[in-house]
Amino acid sequence: MNGRSSLLGVGLMLVFLTAFVSGVSTFVNAYAVGVTTSSDAFVTVRNILVAGAFVPVALVASRYLRAPKLRGIDWARLVVIGLIGGAIPFLLFFHGLELATKAGGAVTASFAYRTLFLFATVFGLVFLSEKFRWWVVLAAGLILGGNVLLLSLTAPIWTDGTSYVLAATVLWAAEYTVSKRTLRDLPSATVALGRMGFGAVFLAGYLAFTAQWGVVAGFSGVDWAWIGISAALLAAFVASWYPGLKRVDLGAATSVLVLGFPITWLLGILVKGSPFTLGEAAGAAVVVAGVCLAVGLAQFKATGAFLSRLLRPSTSTT
C-alpha cells in the first residue's frame, strides 16, 4: 500500500505542476499568437522542437525502464495519440485563440478549454471503467461555477475562436483517454514522444500541403523568441503531465488542470495590472475548492504521506 500511495502522491504532485505550467502557457500563448505571422507555422515549428527534445529522453527512459518492445497495437495507439493530441487540436486551439484574442474574447475561449475535465471524466467512466463518485458532480458544479465568476462581464461571451478551442478541447480529452490506456503498457516518455513525434509529422505534412513552409523562412527574431518560450512551456507540460496521468485517474487529473484558469487570471493581475472584483477572487477560491473535492481526500492523504516520507530525515543504526 505504501508503494501505491507513493506512486499516487508523485502523480498528483506532477499533475499540479502541469496545471501551473498550463496556466502560464495560456497567458504566454495569448501574447505569442498576437505577434506571429501564422499560428499554423508557429505551432508546427514549436512542436517539432519539442518532439526533437523528447527523442533522447524517451530513448534513455526506455532503456533504463526496460520498456517492452512495441506491438502493432502500441504503434497504432501512438499514431492516434499523435493525430488527435499532438496535431489537429493544436491547430484548432491556436487558430481559435488567435481569433478570440482579436475579438477580445481570449478569456472566454480559455474557459472553453477548462471544460476539458467534463469530457475526460465521462470518457474515463465509459472507456476506462473508472469509478463514479457522487461528490464529483458537486465538484464539477463548483469548478464550472468558479470559472464563470472568473469570466469578464465586458468580454464577448462567445466568438468564432471559442468554437475552435472547444473542438480542440474535446479532442484532447479523447487523446488523454487513449493515452491513459496506453500508459498501462508503455513508459510515459514513450507516450509523450508518440504524441509530440507523430503529431509533428502530421503538422509538418499539413504545413507542406497548405504551402505555408515559406512563412517559417520569414520568421523574425521576435517570432523565434516566442516559439522558444512556448516550446519550453510545452515541453514542461508534457514532461510532467504523462508521468502524472500514469498514476492518477483521468477524471481527477484533468480536474486539477482546471487550476490553470485561476493561474492565468492571477498572472493578468500581476503582470498587466488588470483590475479584479471580489466576485472574481471568490471564483478562484471556488475553483480551488472544487478541484480539491474532485481529487478526493484519499489522494491528498497519499500525497501528504509521500511528502512526509520524502522530507523525513534518514536515520541510520550503528
| Core vs surface per residue 11-28: b (16+ CB within 10 A) or e | bbbbbbbbbbbbbbbbbb
* pLDDT of 151 higher than 80: no
Q: Which residue has the higher pLDDT, 181 or 60?
A: 181
Q: Give the C-alpha separation, 154 to 296, whole Å.
A: 35
Q: Is residue 315 included in any domain, yes or no? A: no
* pLDDT of 62 higher than 80: no
Q: Is residue 318 included in any domain, yes or no? A: no
Q: What is the mean pLDDT of residues 288-315?
A: 69
Q: Is residue 316 included in any domain, yes or no? A: no
Q: Give the C-alpha separation, 107 to 93, whole Å.
A: 13
Total domains present in the chain:
1
224 Cβ neighbours under 8 A, 6+ residues apart = none
pLDDT confidence tier of residue 318, bands split at 50, 70 and 90: very low
- The predicted-structure confidence for 211-266, as pLDDT tens digits, reads as follows 999 999 999 999 999 999 999 999 999 999 999 999 999 999 999 999 888 898 89
Amino acid at 241: W
pLDDT of residue 314: 53
126 Cβ neighbours under 8 A, 6+ residues apart = none
Among 6, 2, 3, 14, smallest CA distance to 252 is for 14
Among 262, 264, 249, 243, smallest CA distance to 294 is for 249
What share of the chain in percent tops pLDDT 90?
A: 50
* pLDDT of 4 higher than 60: no
Q: In sequence order, what DSSP letters do the residues of 176-199 get, joined into one string? A: HHHHHHHTTTS-HHHHHHHHHHHH
Q: Is residue 22 included in any domain, yes or no? A: yes
Q: Is residue 185 included in any domain, yes or no? A: yes
pLDDT confidence tier of residue 7, bands split at 50, 70 and 90: low
SS3 content of the chain, % helix, strand, coil (to 5): 80, 0, 20
DSSP 205: H
DSSP 248: S
Compute the Cα dihedral for 210, 211, 216, 220 and give only its sign: negative
The grid coordinates of residue 173 equal 480529452
Domain that holds residue 84: 2-310
* pLDDT of 57 higher than 60: yes
Q: Give the C-alpha separation, 144 to 138, whole Å.
A: 10
Residues 107 and 215: beta-carbon distance below 8 Å: no
Q: Is residue 138 included in any domain, yes or no? A: yes
CA 73 to the chain's CA centroid = 25
Residues 188 and 67: beta-carbon distance below 8 Å: no
